[in-house]
Amino acid sequence: MRKVYLDNNATTPCDPRVIDAMLPYFFEHFGNAASRSHPFGWEAEDAVDKARAQVADLIGADEKEIIFTSGATESDNLAIKGVFEMYSRKGNHIITLKTEHKAVLDTCKVLEKKGAQVTYLDVKEDGLIDLVALENAIQKNTILVSVMWANNETGVIQPMKEIGEICAKHGVLFMSDGTQAVGKIPVNPREYGIHLMAFTAHKMYGPKGVGALYVSRKEPRVKVTAQMDGGGHERGMRSGTLNVPGIVGFGKAAALAKAEMQEDALRLSKLRDKLEAGFKNALEEVYVNGNTEHRMPHVTNISFKHVEGEGLMMTFNQDIALSSGSACTSASLEPSYVLVALGLGDDLAHSSLRFSLGRFTSEEDIDFTLQSIIKGVNHMRDLSPIWEMYKEGVDLDSVVWSAH
């Protein structure tokens, strides 16, 4: 039985070459990178130095600008809370987007309780930031703009250069959650006027539990207040014994990404396009969500109108792993806040599926997915009174549904 994994935006498998690089650092070279007095420590430190150079090289940064963390969630926290505390004398206003990852949004929410003023900007219908609204939102007390490079649900890529220029013009720090972009498309924070950038290994074929925060060291030299104290590791910005095997794996993953991203992106964009075309040719009322020009090569978010996504997934989810546009909260199934921010109604948001392809996705995977999901959609629509009404020409938007 084929098992197809199309949820690479949630996590990627570890590339076997990454695992090979990591293995010696669990037993043979198990030293603490902070042990300065013996060869066990020196070996570990050398391995971390090499990995730091590989990670820095992937994003065109200086090695000293890379702070290793436990992942992008921690990096987002360190960047936003760290700037808020470090620059409190300059101001307390932060600007971000409604479509950011929870690691950014929840961090901002917490800071609001500690005196921060946060503006959550709407996005346009295609998921892109409104640059005029951004510039208008900047105030005298604005210290930080936080905009993700690429969205995890839609793959939409924000105009980072233009945002960087606006931030530079107003002397505001620019932070980006680069998690979904780093290792997949060329990302260079310095070129784009980004001062802090969070990313993580497990979204780019590295291990889970290791990430990084890029912190600009020149023009300007940015500082963040540590959120973890105890020993002053990572230039005092993040204490704690370094996860040496994880960092070695992150470094290897970065080197592989640098060498292979162009080829991967080209191959995956063709498969992604095949998937979209296959659905559109076989089915009516299929909509791709978000801007289709400025987006990641391996992602598509598709609504199958009048089909409930969670139900649709049940028709194939033993065989195909992907995410729907609904999020399970404790009480109910909520439509994705990202899709709602794009202006999708609850019905279209609930009828969406996110397909995120990856390095190990094959053409056979895509063929199998098309076949299974087309069958599933047809099956669901055949059973649906709403679909029957649609086919009979009833204008469903004008129907007033009574709630009993």
Ligand X SMILES: *Cc1c(COP(=O)(O)O)cnc(C)c1O
- Binding residues for ligand X, rule: CB under 6 A, are 71-73, 101, 103, 148, 152, 177, 179-180, 200, 202-203, 211
* Token reading at 367: 């063929």
Q: How far is the CB of 140 from ligand X (least distance, A)?
A: 30
Smallest distance, ligand X to C-beta of residue 158, A: 12
| Strand runs labelled E in 81-126 | 93-97, 117-121
Q: Are 344 and 127 in contact (CB under 8 A)?
A: no
Question: What's the chain's Rg over C-alpha atoms?
Answer: 23
Distance CA 226, CA 222 (A): 13
Task: Closer to ligand X by CB, 325 or 376: give it.
Answer: 325
Q: Which of 14, 108, 167, 328 is catalytic?
A: 328
Query: Catalytic site residue 14?
Result: no
Beta bridge partners of residue 350, listed in sequence order: none
Residue number with CB closer to ligand X (71 or 335)? 71
CB 377, min distance to ligand X, A: 27
Task: Provide the minimum distance between the beta carbon of 202 and ligand X in the complex, in angstroms, as a whole number.
Answer: 6
The residue (of 129 and 377) whose beta carbon lies closer to ligand X is: 129
CB-side exposure of 98: number of CA atoms within 13 Å? 16
Q: Are 86 and 175 in contact (CB under 8 A)?
A: no
CA distance 146 to 174: 6
Cα separations in angstroms, 368 against 157, 168, 274, 278, 365? 28, 48, 12, 11, 5
Strands (E), 45-138: 66-69, 93-97, 117-121
User: Among all residues, whose Cβ is closest to ligand X?
Assistant: 71
Q: How far is the CB of 9 from ligand X (least distance, A)?
A: 6
In angstroms, the CA 54 to CA 49 distance is 9
Handedness of CA 57, 193, 268, 249 (dihedral sign): positive
Residue 390 has a CB neighbour count (10 Å cut-off) of 17
The residues annotated with a catalytic role in the active site are 328
